[in-house]
């Protein structure tokens, strides 16, 4: 979650919510925010901040964690707003590299029943709407490497042909 307290940078930042529902920050440990309505969490934070300042001004915003990896410029885990789209998350990671297959973006998602689901998206088609799919907490977005005939088939094939030719030459020379 993101908390921004007006004129109090020591109280501001992006914080992880602990399994017990409190904020994992030494100052905010007593503030309960998870498993309760947003208004109640906001009231809990206001009550806490009132101990340090009368009528505290703050913004509290929920965040979700997503991982973007594969053929992107800056693969990493991001804390983003829940309304962030898959396309925006990929853009935040620097976008697909020149080897990235924008037509094959895999989204690995944990379903409520505990099973992992894989969704394949095509971000190269602006009319398809794939890029507007919102992220979910825990999503793993993987940009696959674009297939290349030369890199994936021709070069390995030439390597095999060269190896077979070398073995043939060795056998020919050994039999002389």
pLDDT single digits (tens) 112-123: 888 888 988 888
> Which of the following CATH numbers is that of domain 2-61: 3.30.230.10, 3.30.1950.10, 3.40.50.620, 3.40.50.1110?
3.30.1950.10
Q: Where does the pLDDT of residue 157 fall: very low under 50, low under 70, confident under 90, or very high at 90 and above?
A: confident
Whether the model clears a pTM of 0.85, i.e. scores above it, the answer is: no
**Domain covering 64-145 in this structure, CATH number:** 3.10.560.10
Token pair belonging to 99: 């080897």
Give 118's contacts (C-beta < 8 A, 6+ positions apart): 106, 107, 108, 109
Q: Where does the pLDDT of residue 89 fall: very low under 50, low under 70, confident under 90, or very high at 90 and above?
A: very high
Closest CA to 14 of 67, 78, 90: 78
Query: Could you report the per-residue pLDDT of 33-82, keeping only the tens digit for each?
Result: 988 999 999 999 999 999 988 899 999 999 999 999 999 999 999 999 98
* Contact criterion met (CB below 8 Å) for 12 and 53: no
């Amino acid at each position: 979650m993101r908390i921004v307290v007006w004129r109090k940078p020591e109280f501001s930042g992006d914080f992880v919510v602990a399994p017990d529902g409190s904020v994992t920050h030494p100052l905010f440990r007593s503030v309960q925010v998870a498993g309760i309505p947003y208004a109640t969490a906001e009231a809990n934070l206001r009550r806490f901040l009132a101990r340090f300042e009368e009528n505290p001004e703050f913004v509290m915003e929920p965040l979700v964690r997503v991982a973007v990896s594969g053929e992107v410029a800056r693969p990493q885990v991001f804390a983003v707003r829940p309304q962030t789209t898959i396309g925006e998350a990929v853009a935040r990671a620097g976008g697909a590299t020149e080897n990235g297959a924008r037509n094959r973006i895999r989204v690995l998602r944990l379903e409520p029943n505990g099973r992992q689901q894989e969704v394949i998206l095509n971000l190269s088609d602006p009319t398809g709407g794939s890029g507007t799919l919102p992220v979910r907490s825990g999503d793993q977005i993987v940009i696959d490497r674009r297939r290349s005939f030369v890199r994936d088939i021709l070069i390995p094939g030439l390597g095999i042909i060269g190896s077979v030719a070398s073995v043939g030459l060795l056998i020919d020379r050994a039999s002389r």
